[in-house]
Amino acid sequence: MVNILLQNFKWLNGLLLFMVAMSLAGCNAAVDIDKALEGHLKGPAKIYRHSLRGAPSSLDPVNAATVYSNFIIVNIYDTLYRYKYLARPYEIVPNLAVDMPEVSDDGLIYTIKIKKEVFYADDPAFLNGKGREVIAEDLIYSIKRHFDVSNRSQGSWLWDGKIVGLNEWKDAGSNYNQTIQGLKAVDSHTIQITLFKPYPQLTHTFAMGFSALVPHEAVDYYGREFSVHPVGSGPFKMLRYESSNYALMIRNIKYRQEPIDLSFEGYDPKLHKQYGIDKIAGKSPPLVDALKIDFIKESASKWASFTKGNEINFSGVPVEQVDQILTQKKPTLILTPEMSEKYHMFHTIEAGFVHTDFNMRDPLIGYNDDPIRDKRNKKLRCAIRSAFDWKERNDVFYSGIAVEYPGIIPPVVPEFDPHLSNISTLRNVDEAKRMMLEGDWTKDNVPTLVYGGAASVSTRQIYEQFRGWMKDIGFPEEKVVFDSYASFGDFNKAMKEAKIMIIGSGWILDYPDAQNTLQLFYGPYGSPGSNNSNYNNPEYNRLYEQTSTMLPSKERTQLYRKMNNIVIDDCVSITGLSRDNIFLWHKSVISYPDSGIVGGFHLKFVDMLDEEGK
Amino acid sequence: MNLVKKRSTAQAREENVGESMWSKAAYKFRRDRTGMMGLYVVVLYMLVALGVAFGLWGTEWSDNNGQKWEGISFQYWFGTNILGQDIFERAVFSTKTAFEVGLVVAMISTLIGAILGALSGFFSNTWIDEIILWVMGVLDSIPFYLFVAAIAFALSGFAYSMHVAMIATFWTGTSRLVRGEVIKLKNFEFVEAARAVGVPQHTIIFRHILPNTFHILLVQSTIVFVGAIKSEVILSFLGLGVKDGVSWGLMIAESTLEVQAGEFANFYAASALLFILVMAFNMFSDALQDALDPKKVSA
């Protein structure tokens, strides 16, 4: 009877879906970009329409702290280095730099030559509106800006306390006319950087949006408006920017001509030919005339815009659509015939991971002055971890296609240990109850677990799932509560003030080196630093400091893995899971998208087929 | 003989009904079938809410025992949600949430509205009236949901921020109505008489005048009650509502993603229960308003 009723109401379901899709799609009405492009493009133009899940917070490189800001900044500005378009694992290569840096034997002096005759895009900020040549001083100026307190840089941590004289320059009042001992231009196209101690990740920092080269003329000309008026020497030039809606860019006609060498970029016919990548060989980026990036937070709206056919060309797949578009999820993902006829698909494990940390500064669950309670707290944390069900988390929230693994070194970095025991990721309720018993924890004396998160449906559901698991090991319902914050900013503030007991969070890697995730548990980086768990283990800290000056080597990898084991043994974080991102794009587009390490760098390689498919 | 006796008893009852406004209103309300139907539904919901409050049912609303998006079955009458939670249990538990919000907001905002409205009306055209009217004018000039969201946002760490937000906005409507009624009543002879024998002002306001506005307060509280339930759903949908437990608003918010995946049970369950209660309350409220309308009652 019920089934008959439901069948009769199928039309109602359809109507409801239609209404939701239409209303959400209506929120993102297509803008008339033709008008904006009028006079900038000649003849039939290639316009690629990308989409992002969020809007950039700023387009000033000193504040390129979000994935979205970084994504756009690397297309407007130049960085010294970038990552190969197609090679995986990721490989860093010169971009504006002529070659990889020359490093002195002691690892303290880096000498980097930059390419000659590279020009900034034309802009009213320059004399007569003509962009001038990029010089070594521009990098020095751009790094100095991070240490000018008036800019409130979010990227200064990359070089803080590492370059000789830089912090002193800041302390002396950030006078741009003053030279810095460890940051100088040997000549107009050669930069020399002197470090206090070896910093193997330095080259990676020059592949980030934070280190993009900025012309001082544009900063002076636009002042506070510079964050929305980017002027760089990158492959694209900003034409129109609506901070919460879209960015419309056109090809920078002054961008240097560098024909694509596919074998250098890591081309593998087995992997890449299916996407038509071979067709871009020998062409000089950027390959499209205009690039429009829509910022569409609402997944349904984005999906509607993508599947409509004539709006955005690229979209990630919302988790709720995964089961609809795939015929198979394991061992490999296979699109339904209807979808594969229209779209290309690529999926990749994210350059980051999802984890749930315990706040070790909270005496109820973390460090406690009473040594007995301290040990009991560890038992409690381990019991909670054992009750945690990563498989179910994966099935419910990530369509079962994410990768679960132990510890804090994600699969995307070369230091990942595929042979590490995964016992810490497996749900074992009996083991959890045994540890509760060993710690003398009962339903009457367990502390109230406070799970913090920004107010959103998914965060609340993640908490409710967590509460269900805790109830299974004896926590009363009222002793697992949700601490809801009105916005992510409020949540982040509370996290940085170490006010949250249990913190569900994620981390996107800045560069493909496990050091970037290991630093999340380094004691001196405790709140308000990046170590949100406020973990402070002397042995871990010692190993972190030891490895921080080591170049990649087997020995360093061994030490990294040792640190990973320490975090696992101390039950300081419930880890880990890396999401599998699925991307779809129209068949008229030649692309190999990436949302992580390569990120926005891939856009200059995107090409569009004409009507004849050429 | 018997027939004559029966008719005269009925006549007598009619005559007696005419003696009191309340009994007359009760009689009139009982004759309003739509209103009575609304009342029965509201009472049914209230019993469900009481059962949840006393732990008789809806106790498994937070258990994640099922599988993701299970269909309708004897075990799960409305199926399960993305976490494998029983949608029926959650919908039933949400009845308690709705009544809790509705009752708290209706009672407190009616109380505030009654007191300030009475003061404003009694001291009309004085500085007291000016201040109260100014406060009400300011509050009313702010778009309702914007104001409620702002307060809920500002007090987001506080478990009852949503209640505070709604009370802060809902009392003004009641207050305006009471003010008007008090302005009318304060010139009646019974008030003049009380003044003449030296009854203190506060006694006149709260013991002589205010009880005569109860019919307004009763109707207004039912309107506020249903308004609070609807607002709770919207605020919870926006992430500014219920902190602990579950509500129809939260269920509808959860369903936004589920609907895109072709799962509608959460949405239908919450929407249907909300719709029936709001409809019933509106019917009840309309009938009550008609029954207590002095013009119609005395007619």
**Mutant choice from A317, A320, A473 vs B, greatest count of B C-beta within 10 A:** A320
Instruction: Say if residues B121 and B186 touch (Cβ distance below 8 Å).
Output: yes
Say yes or no to pLDDT of B62 above 80: yes
Contact B261 A461 (CB under 8 A): no
Q: Is the dihedral of CA A554, A559, A563, A569 positive or negative?
A: positive
Q: How sure is the predictor about B271, in pLDDT bands with cuts at 50, 70 and 90?
A: very high
Whole-number Å distance between alpha carbons of A337 and A343: 10
**A19-28, A59-68, B237-246, range with greatest mean pLDDT:** A59-68
Q: Binning pLDDT at 50, 70 and 90, where does residue B243 land?
A: confident
Q: What residues of B are in the A interface, CB distance below 8 Å? A: 62-64, 68, 72, 82-83, 85, 153, 156, 239-240, 243-244, 250, 253-254, 256-262, 264, 267
Kindly state the average pLDDT of the residues A481-508: 88
Q: Which of A316-330, A342-356, B90-104 comes out lowest in average pLDDT?
A: A316-330
Q: Say what the pLDDT of residue A17 is.
A: 53
3-state secondary structure of A194: strand
Q: Determine how many CB atoms are found less than 10 A away from the CB of residue A7.
A: 9
DSSP label at residue A346 = E
Question: Is 90 exceeded by the pLDDT of residue B180?
Answer: yes
Residue of B nearest to A469 (CA): B64
Q: Which tokens is B146 given? A: 């914007």
Q: Are A521 and A547 in contact (CB under 8 A)?
A: no
Is pLDDT at A21 greater than 80 in this prediction? no
Task: Please name the residue that has the structure tokens 């007569």.
Answer: A128
pLDDT recorded at residue A32: 64
What pLDDT does B261 receive? 83
Give the pair of three-digit tokens for residue A466.
Answer: 């967590």
Lowest average pLDDT, out of A39-43, A118-122, B139-143, goes to: A39-43
Q: How far apart are CA A535 and CA A524, in angstroms?
A: 9
| Contact (Cβ atoms closer than 8 angstroms) between residue A161 and residue A196 | yes
Residues of A in contact with B261 (CB under 8 A): 320-321, 323-324
Query: For the purposes of burial, counting CB atoms within 10 Å of the CB of B78, is it exposed (0-12), middle (13-18) or buried (19 or more)?
Result: buried
Instruction: State the alpha helices, DSSP H only, in chain B.
Output: 2-17, 21-30, 33-53, 87-122, 127-141, 144-154, 161-185, 189-196, 201-203, 214-237, 248-260, 265-292, 294-297
Exposure b/e, B55-66, CB count within 10 A at least 16 = b: eebbeebbbbeb
Where residue A283 falls among pLDDT bands split at 50, 70, 90? very high
pLDDT of amino acid B4: 46
- pLDDT for A536 beyond 70: yes
> Does the pLDDT of residue A9 top 60, yes or no?
no
Among B68, B239, B240, select the one facing A395 at the smallest CB separation. Answer: B68
In whole angstroms, give the CA distance from residue A181 to residue A265.
36
Give a three-class secondary structure readout of A428-444: CHHHHHHHHHHCCCCCC
Please report where in the chains the tokens 């590490």 appear, as a residue: A420
> Does a cis peptide bond (omega within 30 degrees of 0) precede residue A89?
yes
pLDDT of amino acid A15: 55
- Residue B143 is predicted with a pLDDT of 86
pLDDT band at residue B87 using 50, 70 and 90 as cut-offs: very high
Distance from the Cα of A549 to chain B's closest Cα (Å) equals 43
Q: Which of A2, A16, A484 has its CB closest to that of B243? A: A484
How much is the pLDDT for A19? 54
Q: Residue A456: which of A492, A496, A485 has the closest Cα?
A: A485
Look at residue B156 in the predicted model and tell me its pLDDT.
64
- Only one residue has tokens 């909670």, namely A384
Q: Is the pLDDT of residue A455 over 50?
A: yes
Nearest to B64 among A13, A320, A465 (CB): A465
Cβ contacts of A450 on chain B, cutoff 8 Å: none
Residues A16, B264: C-beta atoms closer than 8 Å: yes
**How close B55 gets to chain A, by Cα (Å)?**
14
Contact B64 A395 (CB under 8 A): no
A483 or A363, which is more confident: A363
* Residue A613: predicted pLDDT: 66
Is the confidence at residue A20, as pLDDT, over 80?
no
Cβ atoms within 10 Å of B100's Cβ, excluding its own: 19
Q: Which of B68, B240, B267 sits opposite A455 (nearest CB)?
A: B240
Peptide bond into A371 cis (omega under 30): no
Measured in angstroms, the CA of A365 and the nearest CA of chain B are apart by 22
Q: A5-14, A40-49, A207-216, B161-170: which has the highest mean pLDDT?
A: A207-216
CB-based contacts of B61-66 (< 8 A; 24+ apart in sequence) = B61/B85, B61/B86, B61/B89, B61/B90, B61/B92, B61/B93, B61/B245, B61/B246, B62/A464, B62/A467, B62/A468, B62/A471, B62/A477, B62/B246, B63/A468, B63/A471, B63/B89, B64/A464, B64/A465, B64/A468, B64/A469
ipTM reported for the complex, 2 dp = 0.77
pLDDT at A394: 94
* Angstrom distance (rounded) from CA A280 to CA A50: 19
In this predicted structure, the answer to whether residue A213 has a pLDDT above a threshold of 90 is yes
Nearest CA in chain A to B255: A457
**In angstroms, rounded to a whole number, what is the distance separating the alpha carbons of residues B50 and B157?**
28
Q: What is the pTM of this model?
A: 0.82
- pLDDT at A30 (0 to 100): 47
Closest by Cα among A38, A83, A95, A96 to A289: A38
- B-interface mutation test, from A305, A324, A461, most B Cβ less than 10 A away: A461
Whole-number pLDDT of residue B296: 60
What average pLDDT score do residues B70-89 get?
94
Residue A284 clears pLDDT 60, i.e. is over it: yes
- How many other C-beta atoms lie within 10 A of the C-beta of residue B21? 16
pLDDT band at B157 (very low <50, low <70, confident <90, very high): low
pLDDT of A514 above 90: yes
Residue whose token pair is 């009400």: B136
pLDDT tens for B89-118 read: 999 999 999 999 999 999 999 999 999 999
Q: Which residues contact B198 (CB under 8 A, 6 or more apart)?
A: none
Computed over every residue of chain B, the mean pLDDT equals: 87
How much is the average pLDDT of B243-262? 86
How many A×B Cβ pairs under 8 Å? 78
Residue A411 gets which letter from DSSP? T
Chain-chain contact of B239 with A467 (C-beta, under 8 angstroms): no
Categorize the per-residue pLDDT at B147 as very low, low, confident or very high, splitting at 50, 70 and 90. Answer: confident
Give residue A67's pLDDT. Answer: 87
> In chain A, which residues have their Cβ closer than 8 Å to the Cβ of B82?
396, 461
Write the pLDDT tens digit of every residue in A63-75. 988 889 999 999 9
Do A375 and A366 touch, CB atoms closer than 8 A? no
A457-472 and B248-260 helices, crossing angle to 10°: 110
**Per-residue burial over B266-282, b = 16 or more CB atoms within 10 Å of its CB, e = otherwise:** bbbbbbebbeebbebbe
In angstroms, rounded to a whole number, what is the distance separating the alpha carbons of residues A147 and A164?
13
C-alpha distances in Å from residue A488, one per residue of A156, A211, A485, A494, A495: 22, 26, 7, 10, 10
What value does the mean pLDDT take over residues B286-297?
76
Whole-angstrom distance, CA of residue A506 vs CA of residue A547: 24
Could you read off the pLDDT of A561-591 as tens digits, one per residue? 999 999 999 999 999 899 999 999 999 999 9
Residue B11: per-residue pLDDT: 55
* Contact criterion met (CB < 8 Å) for A482 and B250: no
Chain A CB contacts of B267 under 8 Å are 16
Residue B70 has pLDDT above 90, yes or no: yes
Query: B154 to chain A: nearest residue by CA?
Result: A486
pLDDT given at position A2: 39
Q: Which stretch of A35-39, A148-152, A174-178, A541-545 has the lowest confidence by average pLDDT?
A: A35-39
| Residue-level pLDDT at A126 | 96
**Mean pLDDT estimate for chain A:** 91
Q: How confident is the model at residue A486 (pLDDT cuts 50, 70, 90)?
A: confident
